[in-house]
Structure 1
C-alpha cells in the first residue's frame, strides 16, 4: 500500500510499504477514505525529529471502511463505516472507565513515561503506524473505532478523530460562566472549531486572536470578535485591548490553542533547529529541554485571563523544564486545565451536532481536499500557511 512516511526534517514522502494485517485478536484493519493533516503533524515535520525514525508512517485523523476484524474486535464488522480516534485505548481499565482514555493503562507507553499510545506520533507514544495511508491496522478495535452512518460525506464525521473532541474538551475545560467572555488564542483548526462550539453552546462573547488574515476572516464570519496580532504595537497593547473589552477585568477564560506553534524566544527557536539536525543521543535531551516551547502564547493567556479565571490548554507543549510564572498563577488564583482530548468521553455529546443542519459547519471546514500522493506538497503548504491552507484532508485512492 501507499503511505506517507517521515524521512527527516521537512521531508515526508509517499512510499510503498507492507499492507497492515491482523496481529492481535482485538485488531481491525480499515481501508482509509479520508485522513486529516493536523497541526501536531507539523511538530514531527519540523522540530520533534529526535523522536522519529525514518520510515515512520504519519497521521492520526483517519476514517474509513472496516476490511477485516480479529475474533475479539467486539461488534465491529467488515463493511462498517468508522472514525478512528487518535489515541489507542482499551475501554476497560480504570483510566478509560474514568473518561480518560488518553491515559489508558493498557496502552500506556511506560518505557517513555507517557500516556496512551497514539497513531503516527513518535516513539514517545509507541511509534504506532499512522493513518495517512491506504490501510490502517487499528489495535483495541473492540473500543476505539466510532461507527458512523452511511450517506453523508466524510467531512461530516472525520473530525471526530481529533479536531472536534479536542476543541470540545477545550471549551468544556474553560467553564465559561453565563454571560462570560472567552478568548481563544490561535485560530487554526482547533481554535476556530473551539470558537464554533463555544458559540453553539451558548457562550455569549468569543474573542479570537490570530495573525493570519484567512483565519481571522473565517472566524469573524461565524460571529467571533477577532483581534489581529499584527495591528498592535506589542503584546502589552493586545492584552490591554482584551482588558478594555472586558471592563478592565480580563477574560473569564482563555483557550490556548497555539501551544508549540507560538512565535517566541529566539534561543528556543535556535535550540529547536539544532535538535532537528544533531545526532539522536545529543538532540533528544536538547529537544526535551527546550522542545518546541515558545511559551509566548501561554504567558499571554496568563496576562489576559481575569483573577479567578480559567486557562484551558489544548495547544501541545513538549518541554520538560520550561519556566512558568508560578507566583502570578498563584496570586491570580488561575485554574489551569489541560491534556490530550479524551475522544470517547465527548463523542456522544458531539454526534448530535453532526446533523443535516450542520450547526458547526463541518462540511465546509476543510480548505483543501487532496489525494494522498500530494502529501509532501500538503505538508509544505500547511507549514508555510500558503494558499489559505487551514485544514487539509487527504484521500487515498484519488488522484
Structure 2
C-alpha cells in the first residue's frame, strides 16, 4: 500500500509499504477514505517529538471502511467508521472512568518503559505519533490496523459525507474537551490562545457551553476572521499587546477562563519566546511555552486554565508563583475521544455543530508531503488539509 512516512526533520515521503494485517483478535483493518494533517503533526515534521524512527507512518485523524476484522472485533465488514486517535482497551481502571487517553493497556509492553521514564507513567497509545506513544502505524495511508476496534471506532451513517464527521477523530473532541475543562459558566469571558483547528473548535464549543464572550488571540488574519464568524472578539498579537488588550476588554479583571491551544511551538518575537527558541536550537531546552505563560498571567484571580495544546518535555520560566498566588486551577491532557464521540456525532447529525468550514485544502494522499510543507509554511491560508487516497492526482 501507499503511505506517508517520516524520515527526519522536514522529510516526509509517500512510499510503498507492507499492508497491515490482523495481529490481535480485537483488531480491524480500515480502508482509509479520508485523513487529515493535524497541527500537532507539524511538531513531528519540525522534529520536536522524540522517539520517531525513519519509516514511521504518520497520521492520527482518519476514517474509512472496515475491510477485515478479528474474531473479537464488534465491527462488521463494510461499515463506515471514524477512528479516535487515542488507542484504549476499554477495560482498565482509567477506561472505566472514561479517561481513555490514560489507558493502561494502549501501549505495547515494549514501549511502556519509554513513557515511564519520561512521564512517570505510560499513557494510552496514539496512532502515528512516535514510539513513546506505541509506535503504531498511522492513518495517512491507504489502509490501517486499528487495535481494540471493539472500543474505539464509531460507526457513522453510510450516506453522510466524510468531511462532516472526519474531525470526530481528534480536533472536534479536543476543542470540546478544552472548553469543558475551562468549566465555563453562563456569562463567562473566555480567552483562547491560537486560532488553529483546535482553537477554533474551542471557540465554537465555548459559546455552545454558555460563554457570554470569547476572545480569540492569534496573528493570522484569516484564522482570526474565522473566529469572528462564531461571534468571537479578536486580538492580533502582532498589532496589540495581548495582556494590556485583555485587561482593557475585561475592565482590569482578566478572563474568567483561558485556553491554550498553541503548544510547544509558540510564535512571536517576545523576549521569553526568543530565549526558548535559542535553548531549543542548542539542546538546552525543549518546548516554547510563551502562550501558557501569557494565559496564566492574564487569567483573572480564581480563574481556570485549560491546556489542550501539546507539550513534550521540561520547561523553565513557568510562572508558578502567579499560578499559586492567583489561586488558579488547570486541567490538561490528551483527549478522551471515545468519551465524547457519541454526543458530538449526534450534534453534527442534528446540525448543531459545523466542521466543514475548517477545510481549506483537499489533496490526494500522493501529495501528502507537499501538503505538510504548505501547512507548515502558509498557516494564514491553510486551516485544514484533508487527504483522500482515492482522489486522483491533479
TM tier relative to shorter chain: over 0.9
Of 252, 258, 269, the match for 2:256: 252
Per-residue deviation, 1:364: 2.7
Paired residue for 1:202? Answer: 210
Aligned ranges 1:203-352 → 2 under 5 Å: 203-232=211-240, 237-263=241-267, 265-273=273-281, 286=283, 290-291=285-286, 293-352=287-346
**Equivalent-residue separation in structure 2 for 1:262 and 1:380 (angstroms):** 18
Contact preservation (8 Å) 1:188, 1:215: yes
Paired residue for 1:107? Answer: 106
**Equivalent-residue separation in structure 2 for 1:197 and 1:321 (angstroms):** 29
Alpha-carbon spacing, 1:344–1:290, altered in 2? closer, same or farther (3 Å)? same
Paired residue for 1:21? Answer: 21
**Equivalent-residue separation in structure 2 for 1:368 and 1:11 (angstroms):** 21
* Runs of 4+ more than 6 Å apart: none
Aligned ranges 1:25-174 → 2 under 5 Å: 25-48=25-48, 50-73=50-73, 75-108=74-107, 109-112=111-114, 113=116, 114-174=122-182
**Equivalent-residue separation in structure 1 for 2:99 and 2:380 (angstroms):** 37
Paired residue for 1:368? Answer: 361
- Stretch deviating more after TM superposition (332-341 or 347-356): 347-356
Query: Which segments of 5 or more consecutive residues in structure 1 lack a partner in the other structure?
Result: 275-285
- Stretch deviating more after TM superposition (166-175 or 105-114): 105-114
Per-residue deviation, 1:385: 2.1
Instruction: Please give the secondary structure, in 1, of the residue aligned with 2:227.
Output: helix
**Equivalent-residue separation in structure 2 for 1:180 and 1:379 (angstroms):** 37
* TM-score of the pair, normalised by structure 2: 0.93
Per-residue deviation, 1:309: 0.2
Give aligned pairs, total.
379
**Equivalent-residue separation in structure 2 for 1:77 and 1:152 (angstroms):** 18
**Equivalent-residue separation in structure 1 for 2:355 and 2:102 (angstroms):** 28
Contact preservation (8 Å) 1:47, 1:273: no
**Equivalent-residue separation in structure 1 for 2:101 and 2:28 (angstroms):** 20
**Equivalent-residue separation in structure 1 for 2:294 and 2:139 (angstroms):** 34
**Equivalent-residue separation in structure 1 for 2:326 and 2:372 (angstroms):** 40
Contact preservation (8 Å) 2:154, 2:342: no
Per-residue deviation, 1:273: 3.9
- Cα RMSD (Å): 1.5
Per-residue deviation, 1:387: 6.8
Alpha-carbon spacing, 1:387–1:260, altered in 2? closer, same or farther (3 Å)? closer
Per-residue deviation, 1:271: 4.2
**Equivalent-residue separation in structure 2 for 1:391 and 1:231 (angstroms):** 25
- Stretch deviating more after TM superposition (3-12 or 260-269): 260-269
Give deviations 1:264-314, integer Å, cap 9, x for gaps: 53343244345xxxxxxxxxxx4xx622x1111011101111000001001
Query: Which segments of 5 or more consecutive residues in structure 2 lack a partner in the other structure?
Result: 117-121
